[in-house]
Amino acid sequence: MQFIRSLLGNSPLKFIAIAACAITLSGAARGEAWLVVEADSGRVLQADNATMPWYPASVTKIMTAYVVLKAVKEGRMSLEQTLTVSPVAASQAPSKMGFKPGTQVTVENALAMMMVKSANDMAVVLAEGAGGSVDGFSAMMNQTAQRLGMTQTTYVNPNGLPADGQVTSARDLAILARAVIRDLPEYEYFMHIPAIRFGRRTTANFNRLIGRYPGADGFKTGFICASGYNLVASATRGGKRLIAVVLGSSSGQARAVRAAQLLERGFGNTGLSWLRPSMGTVDSLAPIDATPPNLREEMCNGKRKRPATDEDDASLTVAASSSATGGEASMTFFTAGLQAPMPKASEVLLQDVPAGEPMLVYTGPKRTGAALIAAVATDSEKQAAKRGKRSRTAAQKPDGAAGSKASETRTAAKPDQKPAAKPDQKPAKPKVQQASAKPETAAPAKPADKPVSSAAKPAAKPAATAKPAATAKPAASPKPAATAKPKPETKPAG
């Protein structure tokens, strides 16, 4: 900063240059990692913690797609090839399609589901199809990473679910994005499908830049508690393509806003780039030997209104993204008069923009024409049947739980519901009800319901006139004992 002051002296550009440096350095203390590079040359336009090791989360799926599509391009696989959902794939945690083991899906449909919905089960289906197993495919991913120069990256699984040793960096992700653009131009459309439609359900791409930010054309979002919200994005404008990587944002909206800001600065072309020191190319960035930051406490500490997921609702995260918009005002001043005015990134990304024409995806082999329509209809019917079954199950749960699953009732029921569950247990619980709810329940009704049980003795005792007083006293002494004993049983219910 002092060097720039001495270099410019009292030049009118002095304040502008200082402002530019302040903007560049403003994110250093925020615990995020950023990187913007030119796609064709790899020249770094902005970098902040770019070589800090990071947990990749679902941006791992960019490498999964790259390895599979390279196999397709080299003839070792085909997009029409049918793969089968294995028990391992079906057991993956959400987000997923939720297909049963044995379901078949084409490579093309599996790729679309993985990249748009971030389906973890489809990532495993593709991995097993290309590498034989998750471990075999992970070895292929690591070999590819080393070949591309991703020296800070290690893969353990194809979907990015938490795993020891699964690490990357913003630098390596930018290298991977450049490889996709360079090596797979004919299959790059998988990186920017706006939405998919499966049966009756349409899912928009989790990357909120697609369809909203002008020229957005890639790549993938990701989230796990340890990594925060990640995004690898790209956009093309005026024949110039940029790649932006954002790691560790506080919400899905915040990461999209930050990426849009970084891309906008890169497209600014203010003519003042000579004021910035050269940062070289993305391959030349020096790796940092450190442990990846773990953001679990910040991301998943239970203070959120609902659990954090990659399916982040923008309407719930506007406040969270406000910290990411701080540089917009200064950037607007910095570029005033030098480029056409544009709405703030936060405003652009909050627009309710249609997701675009969804790509039809379906189960089973490759279909076209009438066969495709029939396949979509079949999947729709299966969805409707599944929803109907869930509705019937939900409707039957209260009746079944009251009569057949006493332990579940005790766990889920509120205190005022406990007496209703206790009559199921004949030996002790009638006594507890008599002791705790004498005014509310008729004494003769309970013995009448259970003539064979021990309740028959109290029923016989009131028959004598002299014995009721005698029986009342003994009855009073066992009742406190009966109320004392159930206390340990009722603790789990609370």
Does the pLDDT of residue 419 top 50, yes or no? no
Number of H helices, E strands in the chain: 21, 10
Averaged pLDDT for residues 433-455: 43
Are 295 and 226 in contact by the 8 Å Cβ rule? The answer is yes
pLDDT at 236: 97
Q: Which residue shows structure tokens 């599979």? A: 68
Q: Please enumerate in sequence order all residues whose Cβ is within 8 A of that of 430, keeping only pairs 6 or more positions apart, or say none.
A: 422, 423, 446, 450, 453, 455
Are 309 and 228 in contact by the 8 Å Cβ rule? The answer is no
Q: Please enumerate in sequence order all residues whose Cβ is within 8 A of that of 473, keeping only pairs 6 or more positions apart, or say none.
A: none
Q: State yes or no: is 58 an active-site residue.
A: yes
Averaged pLDDT for residues 9-16: 44
pLDDT at 353: 61
Q: Please enumerate in sequence order all residues whose Cβ is within 8 A of that of 252, keeping only pairs 6 or more positions apart, or say none.
A: 206, 208, 221, 223, 229, 310, 311, 312, 313, 314, 317
| Per-residue b or e along 317-340, where b marks 16 or more CB atoms closer than 10 Å to that residue's CB | bbebbebbbebbeebeebbeeeee
Does the pLDDT of residue 144 top 50, yes or no? yes
Q: What are the residue ranges of helices labelled H in 149-241? A: 170-183
Q: State yes or no: is 284 an active-site residue.
A: no
Specify the DSSP element, H or E, that contains 204: strand 201-204
Active-site choice (86, 95, 118, 346): 118
486 vs 302 pLDDT, higher one: 302
Does the pLDDT of residue 263 top 90, yes or no? yes
pLDDT at 339: 41
pLDDT at 389: 67
Phi, psi of 337 (to 5 degrees): 80, -10
Active-site choice (61, 70, 117, 429): 61
Q: State yes or no: is 322 an active-site residue.
A: no
Are 46 and 165 in contact by the 8 Å Cβ rule? The answer is no
Are 190 and 69 in contact by the 8 Å Cβ rule? The answer is yes
pLDDT at 347: 58
pLDDT tens profile 185-237 = 999 999 999 999 999 899 999 999 999 999 999 999 999 999 999 999 999 99
pLDDT tens profile 157-189 = 999 999 989 999 999 999 999 999 999 999 999
Query: What is the C-alpha separation between 83 and 64, in angstroms, rounded?
Result: 15
Q: Please enumerate in sequence order all residues whose Cβ is within 8 A of that of 320, keeping only pairs 6 or more positions apart, or say none.
A: 250, 251, 253, 254
Highest mean pLDDT among 22-26, 298-302, 352-356: 298-302
Phi, psi of 447 (to 5 degrees): -60, -35
Q: What is the pTM of this model?
A: 0.70
Does the pLDDT of residue 442 top 90, yes or no? no
Are 208 and 312 in contact by the 8 Å Cβ rule? The answer is no
